[in-house]
Amino acid sequence: MTFAAAWTKTGDLIDKHNATGVDQRSSEMDSVVERAVTDAIRLIDDSAATGGQWKTVHKEEGMVVCRTELEVDGQVVDRSRTVCRVPGVTARDVALFFYSLEHKEKWDSSIDSISTLEQHGDATVVCHILHKRVWPTAQRDSCIASHVRELGDGRWIVVNESVDHTQASSPRSCVRATSSVALMAKTVLGADGSCHTEIQYLASVNPGGWAPASVVRALSAKEYPKVLRKLSEACREHAVVQRNRLRERGEHGRIELGTKHQGQLLSQAA
């Protein structure tokens, strides 16, 4: 499938027969991705420098969840920020594992099925997700553009932005959920040669349909740590499996993260 199937930011479908063709659609996607990356970096850097307007709403061992209110397109929306660390892996490992559709169901238990709609190079993909139904609510689906990027200084970022796509119509029984998510990962090297990755996870989710804001906030504060804990465990397990396989082949010091991202260096591999 090519970019002849049009997509853009939620609410602004492009006619797939538009004479400007593939280049315009690629440009539209680049615009969405760039805005998401810029906004995420600004929020993370501002909060690190000043604390911003973030309010701590949940704490547990190794996890802190904060929340703030932002104005987006004239509407006030909640944005959460969850901070944690993952020992024994690099930011690159975490970012590529989080980005990979191949591994997503290993740590995101809400997914019933996922399908790729568009691939833009190795760094951006558009996918349609059908989420598991949580009784007694209606089943949800979502369509997201996901992008991964190295920022330098040991930092990597992944952004997931809701989009509309001509090949991602919601099933009749489903309610379309929308979200804006960013994962910032930074490698930290210890004096003893060890390493860990610091994660900042930004999320703003609209489940669609009717859901009280207080309920969504309460669930988010509890669910985000669960998701990141599963992600951390799955990423570490995957790294161990890959290192063991490579040792058997005599290729020390490398880790592979799926068919599209092979040969990743793991800084503390034996």
Helix axis angle, 91-99 relative to 213-248, nearest 10°?
A: 110
User: Would you state the pLDDT for residue 74?
Assistant: 62
pLDDT tens sequence across 204-231: 988 887 777 777 777 887 888 899 999 9
In tens, the pLDDT along 187-205 reads 999 899 889 999 999 999 8
Residue 186: which of 261, 264, 268, 84 has the closest Cα?
Answer: 84
Confidence band, pLDDT 50/70/90 cuts, at residue 72 = low
Give the pLDDT score at 9: 40
What average pLDDT is seen over the chain?
80
Q: Mean pLDDT across the stretch 58-84? A: 81
pLDDT the model gives residue 6: 31
Q: What share of the chain is helix, strand, coil (3-state, %, to 5)?
A: 30, 40, 30
Q: Where is pLDDT greater, at 184 or 257?
A: 184
Q: What mean pLDDT do residues 21-37 have?
A: 79
Q: Is the pTM of this model over 0.85?
A: no
Highest average pLDDT, of 25-34, 49-58, 152-161, comes from 152-161
* 187 or 172, greater pLDDT: 187
User: Token digits for 36?
Assistant: 């998401």
pLDDT, position 147: 97
What is the predicted pLDDT for the residue at 23? 61
**Pick the residue with more confidence: 131 or 50?**
131
Average pLDDT value for residue range 176-191: 94
Buried b / exposed e along 130-142 (16+ C-beta atoms within 10 A): bbeeeeeeebbbb
On the question of pLDDT at 12 being above 60, the answer is no
Q: What is the CA radius of gyration of the chain?
A: 19
Which pLDDT score, from 0 to 100, does residue 239 have? 87
State the number of CA atoms in the 13 A half-sphere of 88 facing the CB: 12
Contacts of 162 (CB under 8 A, 6+ apart): 10, 142, 143, 144, 177, 178, 179, 180
Task: Give the residue-averaged pLDDT of 85-89.
Answer: 92
pLDDT digits (tens, 9 = 90+) for 41-61: 988 887 665 556 788 888 888
The pLDDT value given to residue 91: 94
Looking at residue 240, its pLDDT comes to 86
Quick one: pLDDT band at residue 16, thresholds 50, 70, 90?
Answer: very low
Q: Is the pLDDT score of 249 beyond 50? A: yes
